[in-house]
Structure formats: C-alpha cells, structure tokens
Amino acid sequence: MPADDLQPLVDDLAGRLQRSVAIDDPSIRLLAASRHFGDEDSLRVTSILNRAVPDEVTRPLLALGIAKWIKPRRVDIDVPGFEPRLCVPVRCNSLLLGFLWLIDHDENPLTSSEIEMAEETASYAGVILYKRLLLRERANVRRETILRDLIASDEEVRRQAVEDLRAEQLLVEEATRYRVIAAQRGAARSIAASDDVAVEVAVQEGLHAFPDGAGLMVANRSRAWLLLALTEASTQQQLDSVTQRMTCRFQQLSGHDSRFVLGVSDTVNELGQVFRAYRQAFVAVRAALLVPSLGDVARWGCLGPYDILLRLPSDEIMRAAKVSPLETLEAADKQQVLVATLDAFFESACDIRRTADLLCIHRATLYHRLKRIEKITDCHLDNGDDRLTLHLGLKLRALAAANE
C-alpha cells in the first residue's frame, strides 16, 4: 500500500471487522471512509457526502473533551441520526492528528480484541498523518515567509514577495481583490496553551470557507491573519458568515473566559498593497480589544475616530492621553462627576436635553456642572478647538486605560 495513504488502512480494518470505519481530522472533517456494512447511520452518510459533519454534532462532541483523549472511549450524544460510536484518538509523538470512528451498536458491541485492532490501525494512521503534517509544515513555513515579506516595511522585500507568490502559484491568478482578516485572543484570567491553538484552528476554519488558492494564513501564538484573494467583491453577508464561523470555532476549543476578536480590512486591488490591508485589519483588531462597544468583529472604515487614534503606538497613546486641562479637571473632581458629565456631554453630541436625560439630572444642574468644567479647565465649550481638545483627550484617556 502507498506509504502515505489512509484508505487501504481503513479498508483493511473494515474488512477484518465487517464494520464501517472512518477517520476524521481534529476538526472532525472526513479524511477516509470504508464501504458500509449495514451498520452506518444517517450522520455517517452525511459526513461522506459533505466531507464534514454539521456544527450541531461537532459542538457536543468537542465539548466531551475528545481532543484530550489518549485512549479509545465510547461516545453517545443526544443528536438525531447519531448512533453510539467508539472514538479512537489518532496520535503520533503525543500530537492529536485525528479520530478513528467505529459504529458501536448495543446489539453488536465491539469486543476488546476488535478495539485493540482499531487502536493498532489508529497508530499506523498517526504515522501517516504525522508525515503529512511535516510536509505541510515545510510548505507552510515557505508560505508564511512569503506572506510576512508581503507586509514588510521594505518595498523591495514586498516586491520580491509578490513575485514569489505568483511564481509559486500560491493564489488564484484571476484574483483582483485582496482583503485581510486579522484575529487575536485577548487576555483572560487563565490562559491555556490550547487557547493559542484555538486561534490558529479558528483562522483555518475561515480559510476552509473558501476554495483552494483563495486564501493563505499566518499564525503566531495569540494572533493570526488570513489573506483572501478574490475574483469578485465579497458581500457583507459572506464576511459575516466567515467571521461567525471563526468565532464559533474558537469558542469550541478555548477557555470560556478567553476573548477572540477579529479585524477586517478594506479591499485592495493589488498584491503590492496588501501591507496596507494588513495594517488596517490589525488596527481594527486593536480597536475591538480596547473599545468593547465596537464588538468582537471590527471593520476598518467603521471605527469612528479610532481608525486614526489607534495608528499611534501604545506608548504614544499613553503620552498623548496626558491632556493638561483634563488632568487639572480630574485633580479637582475627586468623585469624577465632572469628568463623567463631560464625557456624556460629548457622547450626546453636546445636546443639553439628551445629556441631562442620559445623566438623569435637571438641565440647570447640567449647566452648573458645565460652567464648573469651563472654569477648572480654562476651556470654553462653545469654542471648537477647546471642545476638540477635551473630546480627543477623553478618547485617548479611555484607550490608555484599556492599554493598562
């Protein structure tokens, strides 16, 4: 049999057991399946037709913790069309590389010797998949090197990366539009090593939503990014579908208190301009991390003032946040009532009625507070430059606090 082929392994085990056998990858996508012996269920048929199983099945399966199993165990979940199965982890060098599945009916249960045969087959499959992984990793290193060069600060390096991408035909030639989706996990109370793996797998999930040649990705621990090469403009519905798919995959694999945010760039029309899309996407990611009101998916062009403010490095934001009038106001305002009032005033577009309603105070009280603010800061709220200074100062202070 070919040294890198799973199919003969699956067929051999199925023939010896007279049971249908399937091997999935760690994301529960079908890699190989045997013929049926009358023991198949509707889910097995669906997985063969679609090369994957529905989310309503993968979610409860992964929730059982099968990704951490090292020994075969029986699985029975309350999902229509799902018959009890033996799940045999496929591993090599301690790495999880997939799962081998056998239908395990109560009326015809697997014997201990049959389970041992399944474990032996899973061990051989692990070697095959490990070899594939090494080859894929070598190819990935080359692709990631080119992608990193594509966003380098040196124009000559970027130009060479474009030539390499085209020479090695890593993206579809017909592509005329390029977009970057960036991903990053936020800080959590407790971060497991699996959270970084979850970031990479989640971005791979987004990549799987597109045909071969339509995208490439780079992952680096807590962050990753995906370059899309499209032949036509992507719709908002398509982007929403991809980002939702990535978010759901991360949540399935990570800790419950881990935050996962995405940033979506504008479209650029040339490979040589991808570095701009990359910067846009990660500014959007940074905005989503620092400004919770933007949500977990932020899109360049929809960030308001933050697509300007967040182009500043973190240390510059920290320095710029030290706006003298606001520091004076904070020092004089021990309860921070005036600072909160000023923030509400700007967020209400300087509308007196809306601000008073938002703060649940009388307008006369609001007028009194605004007069005190003007006196303390020596700024006049009817002066455009003074208003801009105070408003930007508040935004920068909020970003600085979030950075800390």
Alpha carbons 173 and 270: distance in angstroms, whole number: 12
Q: At 69, is the pLDDT very low, low, confident or very high (cuts 50, 70, 90)?
A: very high
Using the predicted structure, report yes or no on whether residue 173 has a pLDDT greater than 70.
Answer: yes
Length of the chain: 404
Least confident interval from 22-26, 121-125, 254-258, 271-275: 254-258
- Sheet containing strand 260-264, strands side by side: 215-220, 223-230, 177-185, 260-264, 297-299
CA dist., res. 49 & res. 250, Å (int): 25
What does 20-75 look like in DSSP terms, one character per residue? -EEEE-TT-BEEEE----S---HHHHHHHHHSB--HHHHHHHHHTTGGG--S-EEE
Q: Which of 74-88, 185-199, 300-314, 352-366 has the lowest mean pLDDT?
A: 185-199
179, 234 in Cβ contact below 8 A? yes
Q: Residue 262's CB: how many other CB atoms inside 10 A?
A: 29
pLDDT digits (tens, 9 = 90+) for 379-391: 999 999 999 999 9
Instruction: Name the pLDDT band for 315 (thresholds 50, 70, 90).
Output: confident
Q: What are phi and psi of 88, to 5 degrees?
A: -110, 110
Specify which residues 178 forms β-bridges with. Answer: 229, 268
Q: What percent of the chain has pLDDT over 70?
A: 95
pLDDT digits 0-9 by tens, 326-355: 999 989 988 889 999 998 998 888 999 999
Q: Which of 49, 42, 18, 30 is nearest to 101 (CA)?
A: 30
Q: Is the pLDDT of residue 191 over 70?
A: no
For the cut 60, the answer to whether the pLDDT of residue 2 exceeds it is no
Confidence of residue 3 (pLDDT cuts 50, 70, 90): very low
Q: Residue 335: its pLDDT value, please?
A: 84
For 184, the enclosing helix (H) or strand (E) is strand 177-185
Mean pLDDT of 71-75: 95
Q: Looking at the predicted structure, is the pLDDT value of residue 188 above 70?
A: no
| pLDDT, position 357 | 92
282: pLDDT strictly greater than 70: yes
Residue 404's pLDDT is what? 65
Which of 90-94, 119-123, 171-175, 227-231 ranks highest by mean pLDDT? 119-123
pLDDT in tens, 114-160: 999 999 999 999 999 998 888 777 777 888 899 999 999 999 999 99
The reported pLDDT for the residue numbered 50 is 74
